[in-house]
Amino acid sequence: MVPLRLLVILLALAISDLHSLTWFVNVSESEGPGTILQVFTFNCSSNTPTLELLRVQPPTTFFNTPSLAGREGIYVAKVTLSSSARLDALAVNHYELQLKYTCGNLMEEASLYLDVYRDPGHIQCAGRFVSPAGEIIQVPETVSPGALLYTLLFPGLEIQGAQMNITSAQDPPYFPGPFSIDEKGLLRAPTQGLKGQAQKVFQLQISVTFGQGQSCKGMLTVKVLPVHFSQVSFLKKTQDIIIHENLGPGSEVIQVQATGFDLRYEICSPVPSPLYSIGRVDGVVRTTMPLELAGTLSAGVVSTKLCVKAFEQLRPWASAKLILTVNVQPVNHWPPHCSPTLLVTEVPEVTPVGTILSTFMCTDPDSPDTNLHYQLRLHSPFNAASLCLHDRVLEVNTTLDCDTPGACFQLAASILVHDSGQPQMTTEVPVLVMVTPVNEFSPTCATSTLRVREDARPHTLLGYVVGTDMDYPQNNVEYHTSNGPAIFAVDRLSGEVRLLGPLDYEQQRLYMLTILVIDHGQDWDPTNHRSGSCIITIEVEDVNDHAPECEPPFQELTISTPLGHNVEVTKMSCQILQEPQRLALSYSIVGGNHQSRFRLQGAVLVHNDPVFGSPWPQQPCTYELLIRVADAGSSIPHLSTTATIIVHLLPWKASTMATSTHRAIVPSRMIPQLVTDTEVFWQPEPWFVVVLTVTSAFLLLALGWLLSKLLWGLTQVLQAPRKPGKALLLNSIQRKERSIDGFMETSRMEMSQAPNSVLSLEHFDNKAQGARTSRDYLLNTCTGTQRWL
């Protein structure tokens, strides 16, 4: 048992440590290969454990297989970065490592969560620039001298102030001039340009130095592409645009673009252009003066046609033209004005569908004759379709049911009014419709039947009355009794029905209790209540509370019966006077029936013919029989009474021709005693049965040990030759036999509360021989007393 207990303890330790295999680790992106991320210990004394790295999310080779070392059941595991680890918080800042732990037959999986955070002082040399193939860019041969070709970007480069240099040779005549790169990583074309260098490939070795002696190198390949010269052209020959009149001088109208090399732009018609100008280099058309249509300007302001020319700076004859039409549109200054500007109204929840809540009147100050557009926007999450807008009329669209939690007590909406101007102006009219609850439904309760025992105590809970009400808040009701019996009461809030007074099944078996259910707090008017009612039937269950009574309670009879016949001694007359409907009674002999001379057939007492082999009594015998009469119904408890019958049995003689029964008169000095017995059924608990069984076994063992001691002492006495010893032995045996006979006689007597006054006669009228010991004994046939010879 001890090794098994130690094994269980060690296994529990291993499992408890295993459940702690969930870690969260923060690591800087500057950490390199070999960095220890997590160290942990655990116990495994039964076998050699293993720790595996199952998977990494997102997939990467940055992590080594966990190392595991230890002895005597204590092991240390480490998770480290591999030689290929290059952490970059901007690329991936979270990893999840799934670990598998094995200790003998125990296998568990756990997770290690790794968060990578930025290191401002760390520059990560990454990307295609530092790859063996390097970075490849393509530029046209027409690129401007000194133009920006490429930007070398590293995280943290701007903070460290790195230095960049082109370390490869750029000797002519292959290179038209040297490429340049500054500390910001900007690579520019040679000052001589790249014209005539088409199809050439320039490989530039670039070195980046940063921090305290840190550096990296990479390759940048520049391919020069040929450019086929073509005529200057616009994508479209004509173009129409619309602008608003509120543009100020210098505002951008449009940017025109043509295809060609080193282009310039100008307005060729009208010349001069009073309203618009164009950028010579960028081709941006701008206004030169305000375009207010309401002023005194001519109608030409509304629509202006411009001719825009694009040409090459070095070859002006290479050009193209674009017809640009600029349309000026009036500007909308004022939003619509509405009446009312705010709608707050209150309606009951029973308002019919189609009821008009309000009609909105709106006008546009900029153009009184313009058409306005109305739109309903609902904000309430419940019953979004409760309202509708027909033109300018706001109506109730659906039934305003407020009998569900949180429904439609406030309907928030907005009326959006749009005009037709540019830009479009909108006016919003807030709408708040408060729906008040109405007590529409009467509460109800279900008719039910409750049962209660007639011996129930006051304040006993009989059941519940459940009232329902469909109005919100639902089932908000109170309970009252209406002209009901005073021995019952109902709780006002919970509906509990309780007993207040005693019950008597024989006086009243059924009660009708009228319950009145009244609702409250379900209408805007607190005095508006509705009520309902139901009938609760209370049935009283009968309980046996009276014991049977026998008439007479005491009898004394004298009988003489021939051999081979059973004789009816008497028939008992018993009943429950207070409950005459109870007719089922049980009869049993509980005392005085020695040698089973008598038996009961229902209420009839019968004398049995002597059992075969039993001697017939030679002397008159008297039996004092105790008859238990109990209620045999299903009610609990079972009440009982005990009647006494004294039977004088005369010995049978051959000359006796008939059996006579003599009913003796009870002397006045003998007062019958009526004993009432209440039987309580008891079912022991299982543990008590077990304890009783064990105790009985111990008592049997003790009795066996005592008998063995007595037999041993008897053997010792028998072996002694002295005569006084024999006499002592005989006396001992006689006392023992009397003790055993008394014990047997006591076991044959049944327990009863009434005293047993059966006559104890010392007269032995017969002689018999034991079946086992073959010894002779004297027998009293009336009392069954035996005495060994």
Cα–Cα dist 625/728, whole Å: 40
The per-residue pLDDT for range 316-328, each reduced to its tens digit, is 767 899 999 999 8
With CA atoms as reference, report the closest residue to 419 among 346, 485, 336, 479. 336
pLDDT above 90: percentage of residues in the chain: 22
Q: Is residue 527 part of a domain?
A: yes
Per-residue pLDDT at 734: 47
Burial grade of 204 (CB within 10 A; 0-12, 13-18, 19 or more): buried
Q: Is residue 496 part of a domain?
A: yes
75-79, 160-164, 371-375: lowest mean pLDDT where?
Answer: 160-164
Greater confidence, 89 or 458? Answer: 458
339-353, 572-586, 688-702: lowest mean pLDDT where?
Answer: 572-586
Mean pLDDT of the chain: 78
pLDDT of 6 strictly over 80? no
Residues 199 and 245 in one domain: no
The per-residue pLDDT for range 197-210, each reduced to its tens digit, is 888 999 999 888 87
The per-residue pLDDT for range 120-169, each reduced to its tens digit, is 666 666 667 777 788 888 888 888 899 888 887 665 555 456 788 888 88
Residues 163 and 195 in one domain: yes
Residues 621 and 581 in one domain: yes
2: helix, strand or coil: helix
Highest averaged pLDDT of the listed ranges 47-51, 485-489, 782-786 = 485-489
User: Which H helix or E strand runs over 479?
Assistant: strand 477-481
Q: Which residue has the tokens 């419940």?
A: 382
pLDDT, average across residues 481-502? 89
Count of structural domains, the chain: 6
Which residues contact residue 571 at a Cβ distance below 8 angstroms, ignoring those fewer than 6 apart?
603, 604, 605
**Which structural domain, as residue segments, surrounds residue 59?**
23-117
3-state helix, strand, coil in the chain (%, to 5): 10, 40, 50
With CA atoms as reference, report the closest residue to 97 among 38, 39, 54. 54
pLDDT band of residue 17 (cuts 50, 70, 90) is: very low
Burial grade of 101 (CB within 10 A; 0-12, 13-18, 19 or more): buried
Which residues contact residue 167 at a Cβ distance below 8 angstroms, ignoring those fewer than 6 apart?
205, 206, 207, 217
Residues 328 and 291: beta-carbon distance below 8 Å: yes
Q: Tell which of 518, 541, 564 closes a domain.
A: 541
Per-residue pLDDT at 332: 79
Per-residue pLDDT at 741: 46
Cα–Cα dist 336/425, whole Å: 7
Q: Is residue 787 part of a domain?
A: no
Per-residue pLDDT at 289: 85
Q: What is the bridge-based pairing of β-strands 135-140 and 214-225?
A: parallel
Per-residue pLDDT at 471: 85
Residues 284 and 301 in one domain: yes
Greater confidence, 41 or 325? Answer: 325
Task: Please give the structure tokens belonging to residue 348.
Answer: 């009951």
Q: Is residue 745 part of a domain?
A: no
Which residues contact residue 787 at a Cβ distance below 8 angstroms, ignoring those fewer than 6 apart?
738, 741, 764, 777, 778
pLDDT band of residue 397 (cuts 50, 70, 90) is: confident
Residues 465 and 478: beta-carbon distance below 8 Å: no
Residues 564 and 635 in one domain: yes
With CA atoms as reference, report the closest residue to 272 among 253, 256, 260, 288. 288
pLDDT band of residue 652 (cuts 50, 70, 90) is: low
Q: Within a 10 A sphere around the Cβ of 518, how many other Cβ atoms?
A: 18
Residues 322 and 283: beta-carbon distance below 8 Å: no
Per-residue pLDDT at 763: 57
Task: Please give the structure tokens belonging to residue 324.
Answer: 């640009």
Cα 717 versus chain centre, distance:
82
C-alpha separations of 745 from 620, 734, 753 in Å: 21, 16, 18
Q: Tell which of 117, 148, 170 closes a domain.
A: 117
Per-residue pLDDT at 759: 35
- The 8-class DSSP code of residue 540 comes to E
pLDDT of 282 strictly over 50? yes
pLDDT of 240 strictly over 90? yes
Q: Which residue has the tokens 């072996």?
A: 719
pLDDT band of residue 350 (cuts 50, 70, 90) is: confident
pLDDT of 229 strictly over 80? no
Which of 367-400 are b and which e, b meaning 16 or more Cβ less than 10 Å from the residue's Cβ?
A: eeeeebebeeebebeebeebbebeeeebebbeeb
The per-residue pLDDT for range 593-636, each reduced to its tens digit, is 887 888 898 888 888 876 544 566 667 888 898 989 887 766 66
Residues 245 and 198 in one domain: no
Residues 555 and 644 in one domain: yes
Greater confidence, 766 or 492? Answer: 492
Residues 432 and 497 in one domain: no
pLDDT, average across residues 688-703? 91
93-107, 135-149, 550-564: lowest mean pLDDT where?
Answer: 550-564
Residues 448 and 432 in one domain: no
pLDDT, average across residues 167-192? 88
pLDDT band of residue 83 (cuts 50, 70, 90) is: confident
Residues 54 and 143 in one domain: no
419: helix, strand or coil: coil
Cα–Cα dist 483/512, whole Å: 10
Sort residue 747 into left (φ over 0), alpha (ψ -120 to 50) or beta.
Answer: alpha
Q: Is residue 641 part of a domain?
A: yes
pLDDT, average across residues 503-528? 88
pLDDT of 565 strictly over 70? yes
pLDDT, average across residues 547-556? 87
pLDDT band of residue 760 (cuts 50, 70, 90) is: very low
Angle (CA) 427 428 429, round 5°: 120
pLDDT, average across residues 537-543? 87
92-101, 227-236, 476-485: lowest mean pLDDT where?
Answer: 227-236
pLDDT, average across residues 437-455? 90
Cα–Cα dist 561/607, whole Å: 8
Task: Please give the structure tokens belonging to residue 136.
Answer: 């490849």
**pTM for this entry:** 0.37
Q: Is residue 322 part of a domain?
A: yes
Q: Is residue 681 part of a domain?
A: no
- The 8-class DSSP code of residue 81 comes to B
List, as one string, the DSSP characters of 96-107: EEEEEEEETTEE
Q: Is residue 776 part of a domain?
A: no
pLDDT above 70: percentage of residues in the chain: 76
Task: Please give the structure tokens belonging to residue 570.
Answer: 């008497």
Residues 616 and 651: beta-carbon distance below 8 Å: yes
User: Which H helix or E strand runs over 48?
Assistant: none
Q: Facing residues of 136 across strands?
A: 221
Q: Tell which of 594, 629, 650 closes a domain.
A: 650
Listed in order, strand segments (DSSP E) in 385-465 are 387-390, 393-396, 410-418, 426-436, 444-445, 448-453, 461-464
Highest averaged pLDDT of the listed ranges 533-542, 647-656, 751-760, 770-779 = 533-542
List, as one string, the DSSP characters of 627-639: EEEEE-SSSSSEE
pLDDT band of residue 382 (cuts 50, 70, 90) is: low
pLDDT, average across residues 73-92? 83
* CATH code at position 313: 2.60.40.60
Residues 574 and 617: beta-carbon distance below 8 Å: no
Residues 98 and 68 in one domain: yes
Number of H helices, E strands in the chain: 4, 55
